[in-house]
Amino acid sequence: MFKEKIKMIIKNKIVVFIIAVLLPILIEILKFRRLEFNMSSAIRIGFIYGLYALIGVFFLLKRYSEKLDKVFAVLIKNRYIIAAAALVILVLFRVNMSSIGKWSDYVNEPTSNNVLLGIARAIRSDDWLVQSPMMLAQTQGEDAYKIYNRNIAQGTCNMLMVSAPVKDIVSLGKPFMWGFILFGQEFGYSFYWMLKIIAIIMVSIEIVRKITNKDNLLSLVGGLVLAIAPAMMWWFSSAIADGYIFGMASILLFSYYMNNLDIKIWKKVLIAIGLFICIPSFAFVLYPAFQVPFAFVMLIFMINDFIPNMKNLKKKDYIIISITVFCIFALIARYVLLCMNDMVTMMSTVYPGNRIVTGGNFSIDRFISYFGNIFYPYSKSIGNPCEPSSYIYPFIGLIVLIIYSVKNIKQDKKDNNFKLTISLIILYFIYLIWEFVGFGEVLAKLTFMSMSPTPRSHVILGIIGTILTIIMLKKVENKKIFTKGQAILISLCVVFVGYVLIKNSSYISFFSFWKLEIFIVMIFAISYFLITGNKKAWCYTMLIVAIVAGITVNPICIGLSPIKDTEVSKQIQSIKENDKNATWIGNSNITGQYLMANGVNCLNGVNTYPNFKWLKVVDPDGKYNEVYNRYAHIHIKLGDETNFELVAPDVYQATLTYQNLIDLEITYIYSSEKYSINDVEKFNLKELYIDDEIKQYIYQIKLN
């Protein structure tokens, strides 16, 4: 009788709707013993309603799954046409995903903000502060596109070693920079960003197609989960994303070649050209912290494709492979010859220098950081969300399915991906050992893992974990390895373990009541749908999670107005026209980089490695070598005595005297602070541009 009444209530949609509407308010009253409408309560209640909306989206996706399957099939079939069309259209509209809109805040001209959707994030400083000014500076001046540009670190920075376009054959291994050379500054900047986001999505879709035998739904959703994971989006402008893209592209090209040895010669040549571009591109990333652990992933995939097919290689294949390998080594050799001295300088710095790590310092506290990734784009309480960003996948659910897979190993041997799966599982657990136990110095050096700090290798662990999750989901699809009761119990245990870990971690203050509610639903759902083999439900859930956690990290922007169209930029350009060879300084790393982005010869800003050209002038005895011999954000202060002060591991402040300015032939200063009358007189400064309202100042140094 009671059950029948419950069923009648559930069938009554109006009653269910009313209960759903009132439930957040009831929870608020029960939790806080009162109902007080303020901003905090509105956010808590709003998030529960938001959760309803997500659940509604999920059920809509489930309801129209058959129609969606047809849509997915069309998207997969035409994916390359769609990708090419998207690239052309987005570049024509000068769209980018940079946070350069932050410059509007620093030059105090909000009207120049170019953000169309999303938020320009200060924490993405490796993008808007470091890389973007370098790229834009390299397209300007008499040394534009050359290996050494006199306007960047006085011509001491090798532009092949940073994210910048260079007109040299080596740039065949830097495809993202081709747009600058082909289309100029603004379209080239858009090409860099749009090719990168399209490429990361495409290679992710293709790798999932490979491991799922071309499952359309898993390919699209799994590809997005890999591509727009928080670990990729928060580091999207860094070497991590580049390494992932070119590494995956190399795997896919090699796989296609080895598994299709009967294709026509011209197709094989095209694949060889692709490998000639992608393998050096992976090498030129110059970020061993990512490259080393990811290289083992590449090796596993390639060996699993090479060994079964090597007996079918013909003479023409050996010729193509030999020529390709020769060309790859030739391109890399030229790069090494052009960059050797600068690489030695970089490796000889105090920071980051030649670091040796032995692993074992990754804590459970950090490992569970992925629980919070879904909230990072919308929270201000995490100072640096880039560091704890990771991949989101049901870790414990994966371990359960791995154990199941090992128990049924004889049956799984018939699977085409059996050896690949076993290899990835072994590597996955090796990396877990690396993170939590360590290798010891000798083994760390032998495996080159000594160059990969655990927070960086954790990204690769997440990539492998996500790939294995997708493989296991495909393996148990429509198989009832657990009853519903068992699956619910296991999923509740997963939630409980996660809850306990959070409560005993440093993230406890981050996880408010409403965040814990969302976390419980999310972890339960992705775990339950995985271990029950419910592919569609898992895919739709993960699609929502991936979009919420990753797609809003980077903004959608148009053009370069925060750098090119501000009043201070116009003043810099005006002065530059009349005195193009002058040397400038900024009072901070910010102003220094802004000068660089505007194409003038600036002494400071951000130096990838030390510019000893000016440092030896002001410190001939190397008294402050330990301070400035590093990757550094450089602030410059005017003072009575030359001094260098370390502010942070990658930040120092140089105090320069008037005589220093004369010796260095500094002509102009761009400052975000107004100099006192005393400083103006002492350093013989002439005011060229003064705007007290927006706090932007340009001075000329009159050299006696």
Which pLDDT tens digit goes with each residue over 370-414? 778 888 898 887 778 888 899 999 888 899 888 888 777 666 666
Q: What pLDDT does residue 18 have?
A: 67
Q: What pLDDT does residue 518 have?
A: 80
Mean pLDDT of 244-271: 96
Give whole-number Cα distances, 665 to 4, 405, 519, in Å.
90, 70, 59
Confidence of residue 505 (pLDDT cuts 50, 70, 90): confident
Q: What pLDDT does residue 512 have?
A: 78
What is Dmax (Cα atoms) for the chain? Answer: 101
Instruction: Kindly state the percentage of the chain with pLDDT values over 70.
Output: 90
**HEC string of 387-439?**
CCCCCCCCHHHHHHHHHHHHHCHHHHCCCCCHHHHHHHHHHHHHHHHHHHCCC
Q: How many CA atoms lie within 13 A of 232 on its CB side?
A: 29
List pLDDT tens digits, range 519-536: 888 889 999 999 999 998
Mean pLDDT of 261-271: 95
Q: What pLDDT does residue 44 have?
A: 61
Q: What pLDDT does residue 363 have?
A: 81
Q: What is the distance between the terminal CA atoms of the chain, rounded to a whole angstrom?
A: 101
- Give me 634's structure tokens: 């450089």
Contact indicator for 188, 181 with CB cutoff of 8 Å: yes
Higher model confidence: residue 603 or residue 363?
603
Annotate 193-246 with DSSP letters as a single string: HHHHHHHHHHHHHHHHHHHTTS-HHHHHHHHHHHHT-HHHHTTTTSHHHHHHHH
> How far is the C-alpha of 191 from the C-alpha of 249, rounded, in Å?
18
Q: What pLDDT does residue 481 have?
A: 85
Confidence of residue 51 (pLDDT cuts 50, 70, 90): low
CB-based contacts of 527, cutoff 8 Å, min separation 6: 394, 396, 397, 490, 491, 494, 495
Instruction: Kindly state the percentage of the chain with pLDDT values over 90.
Output: 68
Confidence of residue 54 (pLDDT cuts 50, 70, 90): low
- Give me 209's structure tokens: 């197609």
Higher model confidence: residue 26 or residue 133?
133
Q: What pLDDT does residue 497 have?
A: 86
> How far is the C-alpha of 289 from the C-alpha of 293, rounded, in Å?
7
Q: What pLDDT does residue 500 have?
A: 85
Confidence of residue 503 (pLDDT cuts 50, 70, 90): confident
Mean pLDDT of the chain: 89
Contact indicator for 244, 294 with CB cutoff of 8 Å: yes
Confidence of residue 32 (pLDDT cuts 50, 70, 90): low
> How far is the C-alpha of 210 from the C-alpha of 299, rounded, in Å?
16
Residue 329 has pLDDT above 90, yes or no: yes
CB-based contacts of 322, cutoff 8 Å, min separation 6: none
Q: What pLDDT does residue 70 have?
A: 86
- Give me 501's structure tokens: 């870990």
Contact indicator for 589, 607 with CB cutoff of 8 Å: no
Q: What pLDDT does residue 326 have?
A: 97
**HEC string of 87-154?**
HHHHHHCCEECCCHHHHHHHCCCHHHCCEEECCCCCCCHHHHHHHHHHHHHHCCCCCCCCCECCCEHH
What order of strands is seen across the sheet that includes strand 95-96? 95-96, 556-558, 115-117
Q: What pLDDT does residue 412 have?
A: 64
Residue 1 has pLDDT above 90, yes or no: no
> How far is the C-alpha of 264 from the C-alpha of 316, rounded, in Å?
11
Q: Is the peptide bond before 352 cis (omega within 30 degrees of 0)?
A: yes
Q: What pLDDT does residue 8 have?
A: 55
List pLDDT tens digits, range 448-459: 999 999 999 999
Q: What pLDDT does residue 513 have?
A: 73
Residue 558 has pLDDT above 90, yes or no: yes
Confidence of residue 570 (pLDDT cuts 50, 70, 90): very high
| Nearest residue to 251 (alpha-carbon basis) of 288, 203, 199 | 203
> Which SS3 state, helix, strand or coil, does residue 34 take?
coil
Give whole-number Cα distances, 575 to 495, 578, 703, in Å.
62, 5, 17
Residue 9 has pLDDT above 60, yes or no: no
Q: What pLDDT does residue 508 have?
A: 79
> How far is the C-alpha of 662 from the C-alpha of 683, rounded, in Å?
10
Mean pLDDT of 237-241: 91
Q: Say how many residues make up the chain.
A: 704
> How far is the C-alpha of 474 from the C-alpha of 421, rounded, in Å?
12
| Nearest residue to 375 (alpha-carbon basis) of 175, 517, 567, 186 | 517
Mean pLDDT of 199-205: 97
List pLDDT tens digits, range 656-704: 999 999 999 999 999 999 999 999 999 999 999 999 999 999 999 987 6
Q: Is the dihedral of CA 456, 96, 111, 563 positive or negative?
A: positive
Q: Which residues, listed in sequence order, are joined to residue 275 by a DSSP beta bridge?
A: none
Mean pLDDT of 330-357: 88
Q: What pLDDT does residue 88 have?
A: 97
